[in-house]
Structure 1
Amino acid sequence: MLDFSLSDEQQMIRNSVRAFIDKEIIPLETQVLRNEREGRPGLEPGQLQQLQLKAKRAGFWGFATPKEYGGAGLSAIMDSLICIESGRTFVPFNFGGYADNILFSGTESQKKEYLIPAIEGERVSCFAITEPGAGSDASAIRTRAVRDGDDWIINGEKTLITGGHEADFVIVFAVTDPNKGASGGITCFLVDRKMGWRSEPIPTMSEWSPASLVFEDVRVPSRNILGELGWGFRLAMEWIGAARYETASVAVGASERLLEMAIEYSKNRVSMGHPIAEYQAIQWQIADSHVEIEAAKYLVLLAAWQAENGHDARHTSSIAKLIGSITANKVVDRVMQIHGGIGYTKELPIERWYRKLRVYRIVDGSDEIQRRMIARNLLKGHVKLGVIGA
């Protein structure tokens, strides 16, 4: 028997988060648009911090962070539901009390120096694996770390790193043994900015401002290896696996918000004496969008359910990431079409959504990489057709 209902607790948390987003975050959209059009950040760091503290006072802090670290310790499904709610606005806000999941693999001293301060908002990290010649193919990275006594010397460049210009330490992946390949030759390091790496922001078509990170003879002590020597690739895949269903969840939330806008506009916009909602051309775009959003939503929640229950969620997460990102881009395009010329202007936020959502088909594994992984799993028999559940 399949049960798709939410528990009373899940309903309460989801509704409370939605109420907070509706009351505190969505009203800031006009300000964010104005700031960005004037070349300023959508939210200043101080404003973001104040919003996070307000959310903390409301009990919204460290949703996925274990309770022993001051978080709520919520499940993967709840994490996905909160990401859906957060996706309903383009305001660059995120709930506080969070740290990159692989930081929990650190030693006690690493947790004290990096994990705890990141959770408390005192330190800012970034995840750096992508390079100019190694994007979706993470195993092709060329950044090298060479042992020098009890230290490692890192040389290389990372690119398109989210938060790279703001971070004060980086979770960086480098080749430590080129003879072992990805499975045993890549190591993850925790590297403070003061150790010598530098960053340059990379302008993009949206508000997303990643950075290029340059490492030139950056000396890192061995105690800053995260996990074990050679474990880097498995840690990277652990980080990316969670990011995929979370990104897809945000895409679902954005799609739902956009469809709400289209429905409201179509009922009020009159053309040739009738609301355009009465025309079949509009109705079909609305219907198709709803069908695709619902399909994406349940695949996203299935991936989260598998992760929560100890199943291998990688295949389903790839499916969710693929359908979620494609759906969001199809929906925003239809919503712009329904609004017509006014939807293309900067008077409405649709063009802002359009630019925001386009990158979802690239980050955390492009559409092409997801298709490659899905096809490979099927062709090699790793995944069987017709199986229900795990």
Structure 2
Amino acid sequence: MIDFSLSEEQRQVRDTVRAFITREVLPLEETVLRNERAARPGLEPGALRELQQKARRAGFWGLTTPEEYGGIALGPVMNVVLEMELGRTFVPFRFGGSADNILFAATPEQQRTYLLPTIAGERRSCFAITEPGAGSDARNIRTRARRDGGDWVISGEKTFISGGHEADFCIVFAVTDPQRGADGGVTAFLVDREAGWTSSPIPTMGEWGPASLYFDDVRVADTQVLGEVGDGFALAMQWIGQGRYVIPARAVGAAERLLGMALDYATVRESMGYPIAEYQAIQWQIADSQIEIESTKWLTLHAAWRAERGLDARHATSIAKLTGAVMANQVVDRVLQIHGGIGYTKELPIERWYRELRVLRIYEGTDEIQRRTIARNLLKGHVALGAIGE
């Protein structure tokens, strides 16, 4: 039997988060818009920390962090449910107490230096794999790390790195054995900014603030290798895999919020003597949006369900990520169209959503890469048509 219900405890967690977002986060949207339009950070670091501490006092800290590290380890399914709630606002807020999932592969000493301070909010990390010539094709990275005595010397450039200009250390992936390629030839390193790498921000059409990172013979000790030498690509795919079901979860929350705005507007805006909600052209846009949101919601929960049970979730997460990215862009476009001219102005936040959601179709694997992955899995027999719960 298939049970689509949440337990009583899960509903209480969801409702508490929804109340927190409504009470503490949504009221900040006007401030965020005002700051961003004045070319300032939407939410200052101090304000973000204060908000995270409020959430911590409410019991929300380290949602995906194992209990032995002070988290509550809700698991992928509840993580998706809560990310849908967080997606209802464009305020750049995330619950604190978490770290990149691959940092748990760190040695005890590395955990004391990087993992635990990151969980505590004392340090900021970034994940650096994308390069000017290696975006979706992560196997094509050219950044090199060569041995020099007991050290490694890293040279190369990374680009479009989220949080790269603010981070004080990075998880950087470099080729350590060109003969072996990605499978066995790429290694992950933990590199402090003090080691000598630099960064510069990249202006974008939205509020996503990526950066370019530069490594000019940056020297790190052998103790800075994360995991094993040559296992970097596997770690990178582990990191990316988690993002591919978090992204569509946020897309669902954003799309539901936007569709709610369209419903409200359509019932009060009149044209030719009638509310525009009575016209079929508007009704169909509303209906199509709801269908696509619900489809994405269940595809995303299915991907998280597979991950939670230790099943191979890669195919399911590609489907969810592709569907969610396309859905969010279609919904925000319809919502802007329903609002007409006022939707195109900065009087309403729709244009801000429009710019923010566009990047979903690019990062963590473009639409084209997801389609390639899905087709390849079918053509090579990695997944079977008609399978249920397998």
1:36-77 per-residue CA deviation (whole Å, 9 max, x = no partner) reads: 111111011111110011111111111000010000111100
Runs of 4+ in 1 over 3 A off after TM superposition: none
- Scaled by the length of structure 2, the TM-score of the pair is 1.00
Q: Structure 2 CA distance, aligned partners of 1:299 and 1:189?
A: 34
Q: Structure 1 CA distance, aligned partners of 2:248 and 2:110?
A: 31
Equivalent residue, structure 2, for 1:239: 239
Q: Structure 1 CA distance, aligned partners of 2:53 and 2:340?
A: 40
Alignment length, in residue pairs?
390
Q: Which consecutive unaligned segments of at least 5 residues does structure 2 have?
A: none
Aligned residue identity for 1:266: A
Q: Structure 1 CA distance, aligned partners of 2:248 and 2:230?
A: 30
Q: Structure 2 CA distance, aligned partners of 1:9 and 1:142?
A: 48
Aligned residue identity for 2:99: A
Equivalent residue, structure 1, for 2:264: 264
Q: Secondary structure at the match of 1:161?
A: strand
Equivalent residue, structure 2, for 1:39: 39
Residues 1-390 of structure 1 aligned to structure 2 (within 5 Å): 1-390=1-390
CA RMSD of aligned residues (A): 0.5
1:74-121 per-residue CA deviation (whole Å, 9 max, x = no partner) reads: 110001111111000000111100100000001000111000000000
Q: Secondary structure at the match of 1:212?
A: strand
- Tell me how far 1:364 sits from its aligned partner: 0.3
- Tell me how far 1:365 sits from its aligned partner: 0.4
Q: Secondary structure at the match of 1:96?
A: coil
Q: Secondary structure at the match of 2:282?
A: helix
Q: Structure 2 CA distance, aligned partners of 1:355 and 1:98?
A: 27
- Scaled by the length of structure 1, the TM-score of the pair is 1.00
Aligned residue identity for 2:40: R
- Tell me how far 1:271 sits from its aligned partner: 1.2
1:257-298 per-residue CA deviation (whole Å, 9 max, x = no partner) reads: 100110111011111111111111101000000000000000
Percent identity between the aligned chains?
A: 69
Q: Structure 2 CA distance, aligned partners of 1:341 and 1:149?
A: 65
Q: Structure 1 CA distance, aligned partners of 2:281 and 2:27?
A: 32
Aligned residue identity for 2:98: Y
Q: Structure 1 CA distance, aligned partners of 2:109 and 2:259?
A: 48
Q: Structure 1 CA distance, aligned partners of 2:150 and 2:364?
A: 33
Q: Structure 2 CA distance, aligned partners of 1:370 and 1:78?
A: 24
Q: Structure 1 CA distance, aligned partners of 2:389 and 2:32?
A: 42
- Tell me how far 1:209 sits from its aligned partner: 1.0
Q: Structure 1 CA distance, aligned partners of 2:389 and 2:281?
A: 37
Q: Structure 1 CA distance, aligned partners of 2:153 and 2:189?
A: 11
Q: Secondary structure at the match of 1:21?
A: helix
1:108-139 per-residue CA deviation (whole Å, 9 max, x = no partner) reads: 00111000000000000000000000000000
